[in-house]
Structure 1
């Protein structure tokens, strides 16, 4: 999606994608990542998700990437944190406590700037991108993280019924993007009769992407 699309969504508070609770799949399957307090987890295209609050409460160092400055400001405000902000190229780097966010274009983030991460939690990044960008995204993420294990959440429905985002990403497509570098294991799946926008049948799936 073009940057203007997401900036407008946040400016007009059209953020139906923002869950008012911690994602149930994160609660159910976080342990599959086998992380310990103090380790570092990346949350790409993070918005102001409450999942970050929960991950911080587990003692993790959390690093996010988010295009919208409004979302980043809201996240730190809701956490009652005052970030230190520095500029690196086109990215603004927010830091406070165990949380850091790179605000700007995800594709502008490189590995030296990101540093080492121990895991990735993709709750809404892959499904936020149109088909032509998903391959670029997945390869960039693999390169950024040196194939760190991932907890990935995908969402599948009849794309002809309604345009995304969120976009429909089938289990077959997840394999297309990741099976060359990871062992892709389904941890759980839920079918919802009206799971998309309260109107359309959809299946949500949690994956563990791990080293073969």
Structure 2
């Protein structure tokens, strides 16, 4: 999406995508990745998700990337901490203890700036981008994370019934973007239409949330 689109969503408090709870898919599936106690988890296009606070409470370190400065400021405010901002090539970097958020253009972020990560948790990034941008995004995530495992959430619905975001990403597209580097396992799928007011009001008849585990393929 255009940068101005997301900035305006935050400026106008159009935050239907922001969940007022920690995502159950994260709670349910994170133990299966068997991460070290202080592993570093990367959340692309993180917004001010409550998942970050929960991950920090579990002892993990968190890195995020987010376009909106409003979102990042609210994230740290709601966590009740004072970040130490500094500049980076794509915007401002906000840090406090085990949390680092790169505010600005994720496509300007370099792996050396991000640092090592043990897991990518993509809860709202791939689905936020229109088809023309998703291939470039997937390549960027692979480069930034050095092919780290991923917990990925996508949606499936009829795009003729409603335009995104979030956009539908069918299984074959997940395979197309990531199949060369990862073994892809479907963890769960659930029709969440009843809890998705905007989609119900638009006349969408099926709105399925799918969780994926992306495990790096190992060379023989």
TM-score with structure 1 setting the length: 0.97
Q: SS state of the match for residue 185, structure 1?
A: strand
What's the counterpart of residue 185 of structure 2? 185
The alpha-carbon deviation at position 91 of structure 1 amounts to 2.1
The alpha-carbon deviation at position 193 of structure 1 amounts to 4.2
Deviations 1:9-57 (A, max 9, x none): 0000001000011111111111122112211010000000001111111
Matched residues in 1 for 2:190 and 2:157: separation? 12
Residue 206, structure 1, aligned to residue 207, structure 2 = no
Matched residues in 2 for 1:33 and 1:124: separation? 19
What's the counterpart of residue 91 of structure 1? 91
What's the counterpart of residue 130 of structure 2? 130
Tell me, which stretches of 5 or more residues in structure 2 are unaligned? none
Matched residues in 2 for 1:154 and 1:32: separation? 19
Matched residues in 1 for 2:193 and 2:54: separation? 28
What's the counterpart of residue 47 of structure 2? 47
Higher strand proportion: 1
Tell me, which stretches of 5 or more residues in structure 1 are unaligned? none
Matched residues in 2 for 1:193 and 1:22: separation? 19
The alpha-carbon deviation at position 161 of structure 1 amounts to 0.8
Matched residue count: 212
Matched residues in 1 for 2:90 and 2:187: separation? 37
Q: How is 1:1-212 mapped onto 2 (pairs within 5 angstroms)? A: 1-194=1-194, 196=196, 197-199=198-200, 200=204, 201-212=206-217
The alpha-carbon deviation at position 195 of structure 1 amounts to 5.3
**Native 8 Å contact 1:127 1:165 kept in 2:** yes
Deviations 1:119-149 (A, max 9, x none): 1100000000000000000011001111000
The alpha-carbon deviation at position 89 of structure 1 amounts to 1.9
Matched residues in 2 for 1:195 and 1:135: separation? 29
Matched residues in 1 for 2:101 and 2:192: separation? 32
**Native 8 Å contact 1:32 1:208 kept in 2:** no
Q: SS state of the match for residue 208, structure 1?
A: strand
